[in-house]
A and B are shown apart, each in its own frame.
Chain A
């Protein structure tokens, strides 16, 4: 039921783990089925230079987590904030209808990490 792309990211998820020197951390839970994603980002000159994730969830949740780390890397914060769940799903050659909500998890985690980064910046200055 999953595309080959999804299975590829599921089998070999990119950027799994934590960043010890993260500039922003986002953790979100998915109300639909109770899953959790945590995302660490590193920001250099307004650009996301590195990311890591940990996810407690289904195959689609893991694949979308992995995919968003690839898409967001090298993007400016503004660009990264505009990554939608649809975009992630498309990059994975689609998700089964019942699994579309899992891609929210990844997009929301990234937004949360960026918000966390911005908050830290404003309280530091």
Chain B
């Protein structure tokens, strides 16, 4: 049966070339990077090389890169670590209504622990206005966190403009670049960020490894204690194979980024054009400030989980922000923040494209979806044909 994976925002397959670079560190080069003998030294060299690679791509210095066990951990460390280290300066944090749960929940954990939080609304396309950030800043604001691009609706934020005014104010600025690493250019000085997090498995690297950029001079209270790894910012024996994989995956992605982004954007627009022919379909997010691989729509009168099950029956893997798929039975907070009603958010579908996606995949999907939507609408008490 046809199998088409269109959920690259959830995770991506590990590239075989990346796996090759990782393999020795699972077996013969198993050393602990803290050891003085040959095995340890070779592990240390691999670690240093990887750190250099990541730093270079981000326009940073090697000592500004901290490897973590996931993107979520990088985000938690950035927010909790910076907030705790700064608490004498103030306890006010600014963030947005569309952050990923890793950021959102970290900030709300801080709120429970005595910090004050301002959550900025977004416009109907999911964009943050830098001026709104400016007016939210207070003398006791220590930290601002805005995601680079949204994982559900693909909206890209004006990070550089926001960063400039946050830094001018003297607060720290974090961006969650988990969705953009490997897709958009990430230069920490152009973006005006002090903290930036990413996860390897979103750009064809392995799961279980992430990285955090920490601008020189920014102090972080560690989350994990127990050793001097990562300059005391993250204890634990380094996952050399994972870190090597992260670095080589990011390196490959950076080299191919421009061409691949253009290719993906063409496929994305082809998908949008086809989906828009289905009546009562709305596009979520911005058409202009949008990730090249993200397609997000809502089909009115139907529910996302039944849509996903039908797609799965035809070999298509996708995702939805419907309440019924969420586990909490609440629709996606992102779709609600864009101003969609619960009912409309129910019918959301996200297709995220990747390296293996071809034009014929897009056409296959466009051949199947209208029929599924029609069938579900025929079954829906809300739909009047």
Contacts and interface: CB of A to CB of B under 8 A. Distances in A.
Q: Say whether chain A's binding surface is mostly helix, strand, loop, or mixed.
A: mixed
A27 B306 contact: no
A55 B379 contact: yes
Contacts of A27: 381
A1 B223 CA distance: 35
Interface string A11-32: 1010010000000000100001
Nearest to B305: A58
A122 B308 CA distance: 44
Interface string B369-382: 00000000011111
Contacts of B327: 98
Interface residues of A, number: 24
Contacts of A101: 329
Interface in B339-360: 342-343, 346
A105 to B, nearest CB: 11
B329 A98 contact: yes
B171 interface: no
A57 interface: yes
B36 interface: no
B323 interface: yes
B309 interface: yes
Contact of B324 (A10, A36, A37, A57): A57
A50 interface: no
A7 B306 CA distance: 11
Nearest to A18: B381
Contacts of A2: 309
B381 A55 contact: yes
A34 B346 contact: yes
Contacts of A57: 303, 306, 324
A35 interface: yes
B317 to A, nearest CB: 15
A56 B301 contact: yes
A7 B329 CA distance: 21
Given A56-B302, A58-B303, A33 B381 contact: no
Given A34-B323, A62-B379, A56 B303 contact: yes
Contact of B309 (A10, A32, A37): A10
Contacts of B301: 56
Contacts of B382: 36, 56
Interface string B278-306: 00000000000000000000000111011
Contacts of B343: 34
B280 to A, nearest CB: 13
Contact of A59 (B305, B323, B331): B305
Specify which of A34, A38, A101 lies most central, judged by the most chain B CB atoms within 10 Å of its CB: A34
Contact of A32 (B325, B329, B346): B329
Contacts of A35: 303, 324, 346
A33 B329 contact: yes
A96 to B, nearest CB: 10
Given A34-B342, A34-B346, A59 B381 contact: no
Nearest to B322: A58
B132 interface: no
Contacts of A7: 309
B313 interface: yes
A36 B347 CA distance: 13
Contact of B380 (A34, A54, A98): A54
B67 to A, nearest CB: 34
A112 to B, nearest CB: 13
Interface string B302-335: 1101100100010000000011110101110000
Contact of B381 (A10, A38, A58): A38
Interface of B: 301-303, 305-306, 309, 313, 322-325, 327, 329-331, 342-343, 346, 378-382
14 contacts: A27-B381, A33-B324, A33-B329, A34-B323, A34-B346, A55-B379, A56-B302, A56-B380, A58-B305, A58-B306, A58-B325, A59-B306, A61-B324, A98-B329
The 5 closest A-B pairs by CB, nearest first: A58-B324, A38-B381, A33-B323, A58-B305, A54-B381
Given A57-B303, A101-B329, 19 more contacts: A16-B379, A32-B329, A33-B323, A33-B324, A34-B331, A34-B342, A34-B343, A37-B381, A54-B380, A54-B381, A55-B379, A56-B303, A57-B306, A58-B322, A58-B325, A59-B305, A62-B306, A62-B379, A98-B327
